[in-house]
Chain A
């Protein structure tokens, strides 16, 4: 009985937790996709995170297979959505590219990661 009451109360508390609370930013979706293959020349890399980012301390870079940075070094947040970090790309030759990101969520938690995508002819 006590257990049941405790479990119910906890579930209720979890559901009622303040929506404004903040957390680590996880990568929710990426374009080009994580591990994906792109036909054509992607104009940019867009990373959507699970929450808003702090622009000054959030970075994304794109490297070719030789480790050379190939993005246009104009990273920034999408003006319409502070959870989206983007960087422009020049026309890319076919090959495998690596996206490296490190972001600071607005509650000062850092997360980082990387992934590869392929540009097919």
Chain B
């Protein structure tokens, strides 16, 4: 009996706290739910697990390097330390099948990141964060030839829903945009390798500007807040989107490359599923079209009283 009373008291306390402070958790700003996008880092901090993210695409040949069919399988875990500050860890298993060559497999360099969400406007459905991604050099399989140096990427993240548009534009309200702007800074400006015959080759490692954004149209938002158009499960939880991911060295040593990814997300109660095409955005990017798939779990929904909560509240 006493145990039940304690549980009741604990729950009531949690409910009171949540009701007072608004425990919106993953990707909410007001009534806007921002899904986790596949190619563009999210503008919010959350307790989430992407397991797995699988991409498959044939890259173009370059000089002596043959065209290669690459399949990457990634796991990413993010954890809130406080409601607005989180950390993340990620690893990618790489499978490379070069034309006419043997398949090479192994882990790519592991990555870690920190992120601080400094702005959330419920009224304007806006979230902004800053963070740093750390690609940890020399942690991948040597046979893949991963970077032997680390790369730090300070990044600005933003998300904006258009629910605050005038009521005369109701069908534009389900639109939202998320985006990132980062500068990848290698910890070593150049790398020198020595061939078996003693020949030294020096490769420059320029800083790289990374830009990514996702334009999404939430049928969930349309159905719940604008107009019930009669969609039922699973269509009322679909979010069609287009993601664009671009990179360019700041020293101009290479052209802008990137991909355009049209696709769709389905957001469920505990997880979401995403599927996108990967389309090279220009000739410099090279290669062929590919595919990107992700299963993404909302840990704050699955385990709201344990690992789904910030460590310090």
Contacts from A to B (Cβ < 8 Å): 2-3, 6-7, 10-11, 14, 17, 21-24, 26-30, 33-36, 50-51, 54, 56-57, 104, 107-116
Secondary structure at the B interface, as helix, strand, loop or mixed, is mixed
Partner of A23, one of B16, B236, B237, B298: B298
What distance in Å separates the Cβ of A95 from its nearest Cβ neighbour in chain B? Answer: 14
B95 interfacial by beta-carbon distance below 8 Å = yes
- A21 and B15: CB pair below 8 A? no
- B18 and A34: CB pair below 8 A? no
What total count of A-B pairs have CB within 8 Å? 118
B20-49 interface code vs A (CB 8 A; 1 in, 0 out): 001111001011010000000000000000
Q: Cα distance A107–B18 when bound, in Å?
A: 10
- A51 and B24: CB pair below 8 A? no
B304 interfacial by beta-carbon distance below 8 Å = yes
Q: Which residue of A lies closest to B31 (CB)?
A: A113
Partner of A112, one of B30, B95, B227, B270: B30
Partner of B228, one of A7, A17, A29: A29
- A34 and B227: CB pair below 8 A? yes
Secondary structure at the A interface, as helix, strand, loop or mixed, is mixed
B246 interfacial by beta-carbon distance below 8 Å = no
- B31 and A111: CB pair below 8 A? yes
- A23 and B301: CB pair below 8 A? yes
B254-270 interface code vs A (CB 8 A; 1 in, 0 out): 00000000000000011
Query: Which residues on the B side are within 8 Å of A104 (C-beta)?
Result: 15, 18-19
- B269 and A50: CB pair below 8 A? yes
Q: Cα distance A57–B105 when bound, in Å?
A: 53
Q: Cα distance A35–B223 when bound, in Å?
A: 9
Q: Cα distance A56–B15 when bound, in Å?
A: 9
B71 interfacial by beta-carbon distance below 8 Å = yes
Known: A2-B93, A113-B31. A24 touches B15 (CB 8 A): no
- B227 and A35: CB pair below 8 A? yes
What distance in Å separates the Cβ of A118 from its nearest Cβ neighbour in chain B? Answer: 12
B272-313: which have CB < 8 Å to A? 293, 295, 297-298, 300-305
What distance in Å separates the Cβ of A24 from its nearest Cβ neighbour in chain B? Answer: 6
Q: A2-B93, A36-B228, A110-B23 are in contact. List 10 more A-B contacts (CB 8 A).
A: A11-B295, A14-B295, A24-B25, A34-B225, A51-B269, A57-B16, A57-B18, A108-B14, A111-B31, A112-B30
